[in-house]
Amino acid sequence: RLTKEVASVSESYAPLLEQNLTLDELLSGTFNSILRIEEQSLESRLTRGLTITDIHTLVAVGLYEHNPMNVVASRLNVTLATLTTAAKKLERQGYVCRERCSDDRRKVLLSLTARGRKVYRAHRLFHEKMLAAALAGLSADEARVLATSLAKIKGFFDARL
């Protein structure tokens, strides 16, 4: 059965294979390009001293939210201990605020400071530009097919987390 699926995939993507562009190369190359470009975007004075992981942590906290640590850890798919270390660092740098929940003092809530919100917005703008470039020149139908395909790919990877 697997051989039939491989043959079917090969037939469907014959034009790509003829150009020596396998889907694996396209997926891996796209992922690596996004990471490199995101890293280059860190070279501004606004994000100096932050890693991509730090920025993604800020995004997981949320722009105007006050989220419990376990919620943010879940969004990042990391342990509470890992997030605690990251949150302490980001708090020292002035990007997040950690405070005890008034209703349940055992809970620690995370929120972004004004400085953290600036980084959040800059990162969001980067993603908006990336999306606009990816969709430029595509018809509505092509954009829908791309979105559907990417959702299936994401589902495949999410199922393996």
Which tokens is 54 given? 């730090």
pLDDT value, residue 145: 93
Backbone angles phi, psi at 44, to 5 degrees: -100, 160
> Tokens 């059965």, residue?
1
pTM of the predicted protein model:
0.76
Please give the backbone phi and psi of residue 50, each rounded to the nearest 5 degrees, phi first. -100, 150
For the chain, 161 residues long, give each residue's pLDDT as a single digit of tens. Answer: 445 544 555 566 666 656 666 778 888 888 888 888 877 877 777 788 898 899 999 999 999 999 999 999 999 999 999 999 999 999 999 999 999 988 887 889 999 999 999 999 988 988 898 889 889 999 999 999 999 999 998 898 888 87
